[in-house]
Amino acid sequence: MAHNIILVTWNESAQAFENFSKFKDSPIKDINEVTLLKRQENGSFKIEEQIDPKQNNGILSGSLLGSLIGILGGPLGLLLGFTTGALIGGTYDINREQDDLAVLARISQALPLGTVGILIDIHEASEDFIDALFEKTGATIYRWDYEDVQAEIEASIETWQETQRIANLTLKEQKKAEHKARRQAKWEAFKSHFHREHAK
């Protein structure tokens, strides 16, 4: 049984809200988490609603989908252009095969500004069930292996940590240089004053 992360999108956001109700009305076996996700006009990501069938409390705590959305809408997403929309309509074309295009970037592209989609964490014996569920709704379905998404999230976190480390090191070196410049200026001022006093 394959463990997948699925993104379902529509041209009309109302379709996303309507189809999300399918998961609320009839819990589906082997679905771990479902999130109704909105791409806001400023490029950020907003969770409209969540379902965790196992907890049944509407809150996804420490989940892969939670981490995924956190990266897309957080500082790292801003750094890589996911939040700003820099990837939309840019170098890549979402409609052609892009094996080298990262999952996070593809999700960012698949949800243009102002649209809503459904993210699903599911174990699938076959892709037929989910495909048939949305077949007549005009949906576009994107599917990724869970472990691939998890690996990319971990790599993204490592990238962010390394970026922070370099930024902190740069800031430390900058402050060190500033302190050195101030000390040098004070020393030069002292020498100038000393020479003037002895020249009298």
Taking the domains of the chain in order of start, what are their residue ranges?
2-157
H or E stretch including 59?
none
Structure-block tokens of residue 144 = 């990724």
Structure-block tokens of residue 161 = 């940590």
More confident residue, 82 or 115: 115
Categorise residue 56: left if φ over 0, alpha if ψ from -120 to 50, beta otherwise: left
Q: How far apart are CA 26 and CA 54, in angstroms?
A: 14
Which pLDDT score is estimated for 165?
Answer: 78
H or E stretch including 71?
helix 64-73
**Residue-wise pLDDT tens digits, 27-62:** 677 888 999 999 988 888 889 999 876 665 444 445
Q: How large a percentage of the chain has pLDDT more than 90?
A: 28
Task: Please report the DSSP string for 78-135 in residue order.
Answer: HHHTTTTTTTTTSS--TTS--TTS-HHHHHHHHS-TT-EEEEEEEEES-SHHHHHHHG
**Residue-wise pLDDT tens digits, 61-74:** 458 888 888 888 66
Which pLDDT score is estimated for 2?
Answer: 93
More confident residue, 101 or 43: 43
Kindly provide the b/e burial profile for residues 70-90, where b requires at least 16 CB atoms within 10 angstroms of the residue's own CB: ebbbbebbeebebbebebbee
Question: Mapping DSSP to helix (H, G, I), strand (E, B) and coil, where does residue 60 land?
Answer: coil
Which pLDDT score is estimated for 96?
Answer: 42
Q: How far apart are CA 30 and CA 28, in angstroms?
A: 6
Closest CA to 66 of 37, 41, 91: 37
Which pLDDT score is estimated for 54?
Answer: 65
